[in-house]
Amino acid sequence: MIAALNVLFSYKELLLNFTRKELKVKYKNSALGFFWSLLNPILMMLVFTFIFTVILPIKNLGGIDNFALFFLAGFLPWNFFSATVTGATVSIVGSGPLIKKVFFPRELLPISIGLANLVNLALELAVFFVFVMVTGLISDPKYLQFYKYVPYLLLLIPILFVFTIGVSLLVASLNVYLRDIQHLIGIFLMVTFYATPIIYPMSLVPEGYIKAYKANPVTAMIESFHTVLWRLSHPSISLMLYSAAAAVVIFILGYRVFLRLEPAFAEEV
């Protein structure tokens, strides 16, 4: 696997080109082009703010004072995870002609999808910071202090990235042999979404389920994001260690399975 990582590094140029292609193709032929990457999160935040303050004003749900902010703090990293895994699942089977005719490390395909989504996450976070500032200015001055905790993202995002790529490599390679994966993955993501405290806070989870929740590494990651972006505090060391360990384990597992299945991709896609 170390050797594979070395080879991967020597293909960094191609990786960047694939990533660039992902980003370019997404907004090709649209009048606003790359601007959509900013417009999407802006509109999303406006909609959520409207819903959770006007239509469904959630006050003091498990101690949440600004629900839109809470929701987005967990939803943005979730969105990265979910979009990457969904895209990666079909990245190998969707590139049949390329895989049958050209040699390059196949893992570049799912990883480039992760990188493209990482760019989107960065843009969304930038919009989110503006959003937090505005919220801070008009409602609660404590949000103006959010920048103090932003550096933690430099730890959290890489952990999330490694974890996501691990899952992506696993499902992308399995899907070559078992095409049900691409249908199952939607259900799996939906269940995980609701089983993770994203639209409700951890404090509302009944006592009996807490253990199961804590075992879920996605929960550990989302909780850390909540702490940094919404609670405005230092994330817990144990949660970070747990998610980092989970990320490494999943990555090694996913990459191993991928490398094991990779040799026959050209025959199976």
Residue of 138, 178, 187, 237 interacting with another protein (CB under 8 A): 178
What type of residue is 223? E
Q: Determine, following the binding rule CB under 8 A, whether residue 187 of this chain makes contact with another protein.
A: no
Residue of 2, 6, 9, 13 interacting with another protein (CB under 8 A): 13
Binding map of another protein across residues 18-37, x = CB under 8 A, - = no contact: x-xx--xx--xx--------
HSE, side-chain direction, 13 A CA sphere, residue 187: 5
Residue of 61, 144, 195, 266 interacting with another protein (CB under 8 A): 266
Q: Determine, following the binding rule CB under 8 A, whether residue 3 of this chain makes contact with another protein.
A: no
Tokens at residue 193, please?
């979404």
Roughly how many angstroms between the first and final C-alpha of the chain, as a whole number?
23
Binding map of another protein across residues 86-105, x = CB under 8 A, - = no contact: -----------xxxxxxxx-
Binding map of another protein across residues 54-93, x = CB under 8 A, - = no contact: ----------------------------------------
Q: Which residues, 203 to 222, sit near another protein by CB under 8 A? A: none
- Shortest distance (Å) from residue 217 CB to another protein: 25
Q: Determine, following the binding rule CB under 8 A, whether residue 184 of this chain makes contact with another protein.
A: yes
Phi, psi of 117 (to 5 degrees): -70, -25
Residue of 14, 38, 123, 199 interacting with another protein (CB under 8 A): 14
Stretch that binds another protein, among 16-24, 60-68, 138-146, 226-234 (CB under 8 A): 16-24
Where along the sequence are the contacts to another protein (CB under 8 A)? 13-14, 17-18, 20-21, 24-25, 28-29, 97-104, 178-180, 184, 263-264, 266-267
